[in-house]
Structure 1
Amino acid sequence: MVFFANLGVNLHVCLCGDLQVASAGSPNGPGMHPRAIHYLDNIKICSRINRMDLEAFQRSHSTRTEEVLIRNRRYRLLLPKTLDSFIDPDEPMQNFPLWAKIWEASLVLADALAGISPDPSRHILEIGCGAGLVGIVAASFGHRVTMTEYNPDALAFAEANAAFNLADPGAKLKIQRLDWHRPDLEGPFDLIVGSEVVYSEKDYEPLERLFKTCLSPWGEVILAEGMRRTSMAFFQRLSESWTIEARRMTLRAQEKSVTIILARMHSKVHGL
């Protein structure tokens, strides 16, 4: 059984109890209430090596920046200015760069992790990290995170964004490539998290195996997903062997509303 709680929040400045999320900066994306917009004129990169690496990255990539506010902390994410160089013109939908956008589900998950008290003994695994927002936010709030992606371009942007936003990225954050079909990780992990990772039915079994292989016996999985047929079917499938508590969150703006499911899951059979 999957239990849902209804919750309404605003898309630009999201308020849900302690939830405070804002996003701006994309020329094609939604705007923010004027009181929520506070652009940073200068971002200080605290490490000289990080600064040099970041400058080299920006010279080799055409980027734009998008600003995100999570619980009164600001983050600036480097994202591709265009998607042309990441799309195969012969097969445009093959490996489409879904990672090149900050999804609403990532905002919800980042805020959820920011609201969890850090524990030095807890190790978090993020799957499908994209450009890196969730793991960067979690690390900045004191969590120890291994942030993973399969796409090499997404990994490059995640590494650049870690250098862009964290004074010492290596202190709390590890970034590495991960193939869900053949996971090669130093686990187990106390918490596995992901946002918008359930897009295809072919991913159901690899994700289930990954959870069983990489999660500690008493660990937890937290997923933030759009309300799609595939994500709902995945939660229903897992409900046979997992206890799932989910909150249905509607993020509203003048232009649109987006419904996100934030699900917290525990295995019914410990040790799997």
Structure 2
Amino acid sequence: MKNIALKTDVTFDELLAAARNKFGAIRFEEVKVGDQIFELAQIADMPAYLDKLVNKARGGKKIDLPLWAKIWPSSLVLGFYALKFKASEGAKFLEVGTDGGLCGMVAARRGYEVVIADTDDDALLFSRLNAFRNGLDEKIRMNKVDFSETDFEEKFNYILGCEILHRDDVAESLPGFIAKHLADGKDSEVLLAMDKKRGGKKFFEQTKDSYRLMRQEVPVGGNSGEAKSIVSLVRMGVK
């Protein structure tokens, strides 16, 4: 199996060794969501890793920036919402375009069934590593997806996603994926969070006729009352 994160019998040490082999030293950063504390794996020397990617690009190779390796303000906002909102009893959660698995781990720690899915092998590696580190590996399943092709043959009450609409291919294929995997019922929702500057116009244009939408702008960080960034928290339910 190409992706060690998808192996059922993998150990924490094996995952950590795989991450170190590709990215060098790995550190774990403590992140607080409400009254819950999680530890998230981070590339210890990100500038050095980015330099390696730049060198590959000079050779004409296509590179993908490790956007999944950053702790985004939007993941903290959505994680806090996932911690506090009232989910239906026995609900199933799907986190897509994982943020290191933070939001999925919040739901798992609340006792819900969680699947974390991403198109990127490394994103899944770090998410599985984080699940182990936080004692949640037995509560979370990992899956690799292609939003235009994958069919889990199961539905979820809540689909979570942070900063997943910046790629046109995702924005175009995600509506169909959601339609296949969001459970029927008025309580089922898609919960998205993103920097306000990345509005996801194409995605919302495709979904406006099928879902009711509520949007809240959440200021994050900053000093002296001024926000460092504005996160759009979006709730979508079937009409």
TM-score class, shorter-chain normalisation, is 0.7 to 0.9
Equivalent pairs, count: 218
Partner residue, 1:263: 234
Please state whether the residue corresponding to 1:110 is helix, strand or coil: helix
Counterparts of 1:205-216 in structure 2, within 5 Å, are 205-216=172-183
Q: C-alpha deviations, 1:11-59, integer Å up to 9, x for none?
A: xxxxxxxxxxxxxxxxxxxxxxxxxxxxxxxxxxxxxx84544553465
Contact persistence 2:165–2:198 (CA under 8 A): no
**CA distance 1:72–1:92, shift in 2 (3 Å):** farther
The one-letter code of the counterpart of 1:169 is D
Query: How far apart, in 1, do the equivalents of 2:143 and 2:28 lie?
Result: 23
Contact persistence 1:57–1:160 (CA under 8 A): no
2:154 equivalent to 1:179: no
**CA distance 1:249–1:236, shift in 2 (3 Å):** farther
**C-alpha deviation, 1:267, in angstroms:** 2.1
Over the matched positions of the two proteins, sequence identity in percent amounts to 28
**CA distance 1:102–1:92, shift in 2 (3 Å):** farther
Query: How far apart, in 2, do the equivalents of 1:86 and 1:213 lie?
Result: 36
Contact persistence 1:118–1:141 (CA under 8 A): no
Please state whether the residue corresponding to 2:231 is helix, strand or coil: strand
Q: C-alpha deviations, 1:233-254, integer Å up to 9, x for none?
A: 5334422321101111111313
TM-score, normalization: structure 2?
0.81
Gaps of 5+ in 1: 1-48
Contact persistence 1:147–1:173 (CA under 8 A): yes
Contact persistence 1:130–1:155 (CA under 8 A): no
Q: C-alpha deviations, 1:39-94, integer Å up to 9, x for none?
A: xxxxxxxxxx8454455346534212221111222111111122335664246874
Query: How far apart, in 2, do the equivalents of 1:56 and 1:202 lie?
Result: 32
Contact persistence 2:196–2:230 (CA under 8 A): yes
Query: How far apart, in 2, do the equivalents of 1:217 and 1:227 lie?
Result: 29
2:27 equivalent to 1:64: yes
Contact persistence 2:162–2:192 (CA under 8 A): yes
Query: How far apart, in 2, do the equivalents of 1:256 and 1:152 lie?
Result: 34
**C-alpha deviation, 1:121, in angstroms:** 2.3
**CA distance 1:58–1:227, shift in 2 (3 Å):** closer
- CA RMSD of superposed structures (Å): 2.5
Counterparts of 1:22-37 in structure 2, within 5 Å, are none
Q: C-alpha deviations, 1:102-141, integer Å up to 9, x for none?
A: 1011111111111134555211111001322111122112
Partner residue, 1:89: 57
**CA distance 1:143–1:63, shift in 2 (3 Å):** same
Q: Which has the higher helix share?
A: 2
Contact persistence 1:118–1:143 (CA under 8 A): no
2:109 equivalent to 1:148: no
Counterparts of 1:41-52 in structure 2, within 5 Å, are 50-52=11-13
Counterparts of 1:110-125 in structure 2, within 5 Å, are 110-117=79-86, 119=88, 121-125=90-94
Partner residue, 1:245: 214
Contact persistence 2:191–2:234 (CA under 8 A): yes
